[in-house]
Structure formats: C-alpha cells, structure tokens
Amino acid sequence: MNHRTQFESQVQRWIKAGLIDAEVGSRIIDFETGQERRASLRWPVLLALAFGGILCAAGVTLFVAAHWADLSPAIRFSLVLFMVAVFHIGGAALAERFPPLATTLHALGTATLGAAIFLTAQIFNLRENWATGILLWAVGATAGYILLRDWIQAGMLSLLVPAWLVGQWSITTQWHSGSLRPVAVGLVLTAVSYLSARIGDQESAARQTLVWIGGLALFPCLVFLITAGYGEGNIANDPPPLGLFTLTIGWIVALAGPLIFAWLLRGRAVWVNSLWAIWAFGVILCASYTHSFEGYTYHEYLGPKLGLYAMLVLGSIGLVAWGLNEKRKERVNLGVAGFAISVLFFYFDSFMGKLGRSASLLLLGVLCLAGGYALEVTRRNLMARMENNQ
C-alpha cells in the first residue's frame, strides 16, 4: 500500500466518523496529491541545477585558464568583473520566475567572487597575504546573505569566516610552535556550534545548512584536535614558541568566537556549548599527556590511553544525551557513530597487535557484529523514545 492509498483510507475513515464531509475530504485528497507530485519533481530539478552549476563553473574556469595568457591585463580584469556580475544579474532576473535557478546563479556569483579577488591580485601583482583575499570573499558572502537570505550564501559564509581566521593565524604564527592547539579547539567548537544551530523543530534553511556542515566537519576536526595534542611541542628542533600575548589572543578567539556565534543562534541554551568547550580542552590535554608516555611499557602507556578514549566515549554519550534533550536526531546518530568509532579505534590501538592474527580477526568480527546490532537496537529505542516525547 503506497502513501497515497494510506492517506485516502485515512480520509475515508474521517468521513465515516462524521469529522468532515465528502466534499472537504475530496479537496484534501486533491491538495495532498498535488503536493506529493510537486515534491517528487523537486529532487530531480535540484540535482540538475546542482550539477549544471558545477559544470558551468568548471567550464568557465577552463575557458579562462586556456586563454588567460593571451589576454591583456585590462581584458583580464574586465572578464573577471563580468563573470561576477553576469551570474548575480541572471539570478536577480530569475528570482520571481524560477527561484531554484536564481539561487544557483547567485551561488555561482559568490563563488566566482573568490576567483575574481585572487585573479585581480595576480593581475596587478598585489603582495597582500592570501588570508586577506579570503576575508574579502567572506565580506562578499556576507553581503549576499544579507540581501538574499539564501541558504547557500549562509553556507559559504560559514566556511569562509573560519577559513580566514585559520589562514590569518597560520600566517601570523608560521615561524613559531604552539599554534595548532587553539586552532584545533576552535574548529571543534565551531563544528559543534553549527551542529547545534537547530533546536526542536526549527526549519530555517540556513540553520539546516549549518547543521549539515557541522555534522560533516565534526569528526575530521576532532581527529585534528587529537593530532594537535599528540604532535605539537614534542620535537627537539621545534621553532621558538609563541609569545604569551599572541597565544592569549589565539585562545580568546578560539573559545569566544564559536560561543558568541552559538549564543546568537541559541540564546540561553549556549551553556551546553560551554560544556563542549571544556570537553574539547580536556581531549587535547589527554592527547598531549598520552603522547608523553610513548616509549614506556605497554602497561604504563595503557592508563593514559584509556583516559583519552574515555573522554571520547564521554563526548559520544554527551552528544546522544544532548540530542535526546533537544529532540535532534542527527546528534543522536552522530553520538552513536562516535561511540562505535571510539571502540573500534581503541581495539586497533590497544589490543589487536597483542593477539594472534586469527584471534584478532575473530574478535574483531564478533565485535562488529554484536556491537553493531546492539548499537542499532539502542539507536532505534532512543529514536522511538524521542518521538514519543514530542
């Protein structure tokens, strides 16, 4: 029985129960059928627009690159300006007739703005640092979001601002050690802030975009956080460390920036994000402490390593609890996935090399089968509980 048949049977029960008359029931069925038809056509159109936009951007890039050496500086600059203008003008012209295509064209216009900024610097041999170019690009994306309130502009802005901060920090600290840890903590907190953009049933397209970006970026940023804790400041030939003032500014931006942004999105609920800041700082301290025990015996090294993995498991459980409390399924799913990944990495890191080949593979198979089943059952129960509480 398909969705339409089920819906029609429900409407018929309402008619028989006297809740609505036959005419109203027929109008409800016609309306829902039209909505379903439009929804079924929406995804192919969006996919076509997305691929078309990517192919168009690639084609323009290849065309300009193929003829770049043959063009004079004046023609190059005019071409750069024309590319930015034509996409935005086309998007403005189609805003009323075909909004999805207008959104695609505006996205191409903002993407082309970045290329235009860096190409202009090349044309006129400007020697500014590359982070300034990203800043100008972010300013353009900010203007695009203010004018359009577009989810793509919001997504590009959410990527460009951290990219500018990281770029500027790397330029400022390139001849010093001790710069990775503030960046790593700041990126994790930024991903958490994006992931927490939605509370309950908020359906803003911009907030949904932030949630997707935060969810996709959280695990890679966490890997970078552990790597920064492990590797930095432990090499004898490291450059001189950062000065106290510069390091303090870096930590203030890394901690306060994501929390202020989370406060703008979540209001008083930002206190949960503050707990994640403490957790991220604890993870990087545990990673640094664990690295200091490398070269010790297995039993001496196992204790600090257990502490690091305990922090990761604590974060996974906290993410699940956070999702249940605010009724967000993506956080529950990420928390369950994080727990499974932490257990697997702990097995590979601590036990697999201590067992025989056959025993290690057998135990790994049992762990994957039994653990996967248990986690999936737990996830479904958590989802059902969350839906019952809504």
Residues 6+ away with beta carbon under 8 Å from 247:
178, 182, 241
- Amino acid 53: pLDDT: 67
The torsion angle over the Cα atoms of residues 282, 286, 292 and 296, rounded to 10 degrees, is: 160
Mean pLDDT in the chain?
A: 80
Residue 169's closest CA among 231, 124, 228? 228
Token readout for 140 is 């353009």
**Which residue would you say has higher pLDDT here, 348 or 130?**
130
The torsion angle over the Cα atoms of residues 180, 183, 184 and 190, rounded to 10 degrees, is: 180
pLDDT of 63 > 50? The answer is yes
Token readout for 236 is 């004898």
- Amino acid 146: pLDDT: 92
pLDDT of 2 > 50? The answer is no
- Amino acid 41: pLDDT: 43
Q: Is residue 353 very low, low, confident or very high in pLDDT (cuts 50, 70, 90)?
A: low
Kindly report, residue by residue over 164-217, the tens digit of the pLDDT: 999 999 988 888 877 889 999 999 999 999 999 987 666 788 899 999 999 999
What is the rounded average pLDDT of the residues 120-145? 85
The torsion angle over the Cα atoms of residues 183, 188, 190 and 192, rounded to 10 degrees, is: -170
Q: Is residue 155 very low, low, confident or very high in pLDDT (cuts 50, 70, 90)?
A: very high
- Amino acid 213: pLDDT: 95
**Which residue would you say has higher pLDDT here, 159 or 367?**
159
- Amino acid 179: pLDDT: 86
Kindly report, residue by residue over 75-119, the tens digit of the pLDDT: 778 877 888 888 888 888 888 887 777 888 888 888 888 888 887
pLDDT of 39 > 50? The answer is no
CB 209 within 8 A of CB 155: yes
The residue count of the chain comes to 390
CB 111 within 8 A of CB 57: yes
Name the 3-class secondary structure at 292: coil
Token readout for 177 is 């050690």
pTM score of the predicted model = 0.79
The values of phi and psi at residue 177, to 5°, are -100, 165
**Residue 230: how many other CB atoms lie within 10 Å:** 16
Kindly report, residue by residue over 208-262, the tens digit of the pLDDT: 999 999 999 999 999 999 988 887 644 445 677 788 888 999 999 999 999 999 9
Q: What is the identity of the amino acid at 16?
A: K
Tell me the C-alpha to C-alpha distance, in Å, between residue 118 and each of 39, 69, 134, 158, 192. Answer: 40, 16, 9, 20, 31
pLDDT of 280 > 80? The answer is yes
Token readout for 216 is 């996709």
The values of phi and psi at residue 113, to 5°, are -60, -40
Euclidean distance between CA atoms 320 and 375, whole angstroms: 12
pLDDT of 66 > 50? The answer is yes
Return the CA Rg of the chain.
Answer: 26
pLDDT of 38 > 60? The answer is no
Token readout for 337 is 């996935």
Question: Angle at Cα 302 formed by Cα 301 and Cα 305, nearest 5°?
Answer: 90
**Residue 135: how many other CB atoms lie within 10 Å:** 20
Name the 3-class secondary structure at 241: strand
What is the rounded average pLDDT of the residues 35-47? 53
Q: Is residue 47 very low, low, confident or very high in pLDDT (cuts 50, 70, 90)?
A: low
Question: Angle at Cα 110 formed by Cα 109 and Cα 114, nearest 5°?
Answer: 110
**Which residue would you say has higher pLDDT here, 247 or 43?**
247
- Amino acid 348: pLDDT: 73
Tell me the C-alpha to C-alpha distance, in Å, between residue 137 and each of 132, 180, 201. Answer: 9, 24, 32
**Residue 187: how many other CB atoms lie within 10 Å:** 24
What is the rounded average pLDDT of the residues 344-353? 70
CB 64 within 8 A of CB 75: no
* Segment among 35-44, 114-123, 350-359 with least mean pLDDT: 35-44
pLDDT of 288 > 90? The answer is no
- Amino acid 298: pLDDT: 52
Q: Is residue 347 very low, low, confident or very high in pLDDT (cuts 50, 70, 90)?
A: confident
Q: Is residue 42 very low, low, confident or very high in pLDDT (cuts 50, 70, 90)?
A: low
Token readout for 76 is 């190059």
Question: Angle at Cα 257 formed by Cα 256 and Cα 258, nearest 5°?
Answer: 100
The torsion angle over the Cα atoms of residues 375, 376, 382 and 388, rounded to 10 degrees, is: -170
What is the rounded average pLDDT of the residues 264-277? 92
